[in-house]
Amino acid sequence: MTSTKQNRNAQNASNSNNVTQEYDAIIIGAGMAGMYQLYKLKKAGLSVRVFETGSGVGGTWYWNRYPGCKFDSESYSYGYSFSEELLDEWQWSEHFARQPETEKYLNFVADKFDLRKDMEFNNKIEDAKYDKESKRWNIETDQGIKASATFLITAVGPLSAHVMPSYKGMESFEGGSWHTARWPKEKVDFTGKRVAVIGTGATGVQVIQEMALMAEHLTVFQRNPNWCAPLNNDLITDEEQKEIRASYPEIFKKCNETNGCFIHSPDERSVFEVTPEERDELYEKLYADKGFGIWVASFFDTQMTEEANVSRTEFIAKKIRARVKDPKLAEKLIPKDHGFGTKRVPLETDYYEAYNRDNVLLVDIRETPIEEVLPKGIKTSDKEYDFDYIIYATGFDPVTGSLNRINITGKNDVKLKDKWADGPLTYLGIQSSGFPNLFTLVGPHNAATLCNIPRCIEQNVEWVTDAIEHMRSEGLSEIEPKLESENRWTQEVITMGEMSPFMKVNSWLSGVNSNVKDKQTRSFQVYVGGAPAYREHCEEEAASGYAGFELS
């Protein structure tokens, strides 16, 4: 018998005996944050167990396997930076890697650092309760595994609780149908098929442009259009490969200096201090460049005020009009209710050109709403459409959603989702009072959500590891924020948010998803003050000996 099999048998035996497994730390989720947290805590000498719902590592890159799924951050700015050996050994093939390559990378990391042996797959933690007598977290999974630990660390991702719409008749549909975040592992052949995609956010855009090439006919059901810009992806040449390898330290340094940890930094000029020609020159350059530059490397004030953003928004509208042949259709694809960059910008490859194809139809469901899903397709207010597949690209219960789906109970029998019913209350987006020793990586009020995420994950994980090591070296058993720290940070998140263009429009960044009952109105879920400022707050806190926390 292999040792893995023996371990599993031993595990099953312990489950059936209802034995509680004991660890120093339990991590929920085996995505990028959970994997790095495991690596760091093991290195610090803790006993750790990761529980993961899926059957493999990767988190976002495990679940989102829809065609077209890929990075919008440059691959070499997205990978882990903590191991030089890893940086030397791994080679990205494209400037923006596709999901299969990223999943392979994360499996490579898991193997290289021998992470799998401390992970329990196919186990979803449903309950986590703090016991104030023993000062330990007790968890139970949907498979009946019980475990306890001093520290509970959530690494569940800010956009992982996927949501479906609630159209009448959805369950009656006789064809294939699923959410993009639950795409089947087996290859689906769309040749000769009629496909519907509902949703035109970053995910919808990626899947639509790919599906247009695969399906016999594609119908896109669009409620609100988004401002999209070209990804300009390419293979990485050998020459570029060498350059990337040689400049990793500078790449990561540059990322860490920018608000969103992307390699693009804003132009220091105000849009009002340049001529119209100079404006267009920069916009043209950024539109032709790779990645998020057009969003984050424009004149600094285009991301700050509506007035400063007007010329950029008009520039992008002009581009859409030039790319979509039918002028009426072009107008439907141009947002009229918000400026460019005030929602997360989907990056695309021939997205607008897809609508010039004979096999692609756009249905504006603000004009003709979906009334119901039928066994054979979709009925709008004016027509019935037949489909073989319906794909829901309808987004996620943002930020708090993935935490709210776990029944987390703190020291005074208060549930985290009840405490956060009117919006999250946290200190540094990493802890909440009443929930000692619970750390929320990339949690609400954290800068990590609005970030080239692995850069912020590494910061979060290292900060949490340092805090835990501090406690262990001082012989402490509990850490939780002081109420005044939590109030101060929550207020800081709100103050920054109130100034932000992201909070002036409905999107997951402003905490809205129309399919979620308690996410109909905007709420402050994300710290928008930028990663460098956030990092400074965290560093000051650690340097003060964690003065904003109760330690005992």
Residues in contact with ligand NA7 by the rule CB under 6 A: 159, 165, 198-204, 223-224, 344, 365, 393-396, 508, 514-515
Residue 361 Cβ, how far from ligand NA7 at the closest point, in Å? 16
Residue 226 Cβ, how far from ligand NA7 at the closest point, in Å? 7
Contact 80, 55 (CB under 8 A): no
Cβ contacts of 539 within 8 Å, gap of 6 or more: none
Residue 348 Cβ, how far from ligand NA7 at the closest point, in Å? 12
Nearer to ligand NA7, 23 or 340 (CB): 340
- Count the alpha carbons within 13 Å of 38 in the hemisphere toward its beta carbon: 27
Residue 508 Cβ, how far from ligand NA7 at the closest point, in Å? 5
Residue 274 Cβ, how far from ligand NA7 at the closest point, in Å? 30
Q: Which of 203, 156, 212 is nearest to 180 (CA)?
A: 203
Nearer to ligand NA7, 429 or 548 (CB): 429
Nearer to ligand NA7, 340 or 508 (CB): 508
Cβ contacts of 538 within 8 Å, gap of 6 or more: 428, 430, 459, 463
Nearer to ligand NA7, 223 or 537 (CB): 223
**CB nearest ligand NA7: which residue?**
201
- Count the alpha carbons within 13 Å of 460 in the hemisphere toward its beta carbon: 35
**Residue in this structure with the two tokens 């247009």, named with its chain if needed:** 212
Three-point CA angle 82, 83, 89, nearest 5°: 140
User: Roughly how many angstroms between the first and final C-alpha of the chain, as a whole number?
Assistant: 46
Nearer to ligand NA7, 451 or 471 (CB): 451
Nearer to ligand NA7, 189 or 337 (CB): 337
Residue 401 Cβ, how far from ligand NA7 at the closest point, in Å? 11
Beta strands 438-440 and 146-154, pairing class: parallel
Cβ contacts of 111 within 8 Å, gap of 6 or more: none
Nearer to ligand NA7, 225 or 548 (CB): 225
Residue 217 Cβ, how far from ligand NA7 at the closest point, in Å? 19
Q: Which of 552, 551, 537, 545 is nearest to 427 (CA)?
A: 537
Beta strands 389-392 and 407-409, pairing class: unpaired
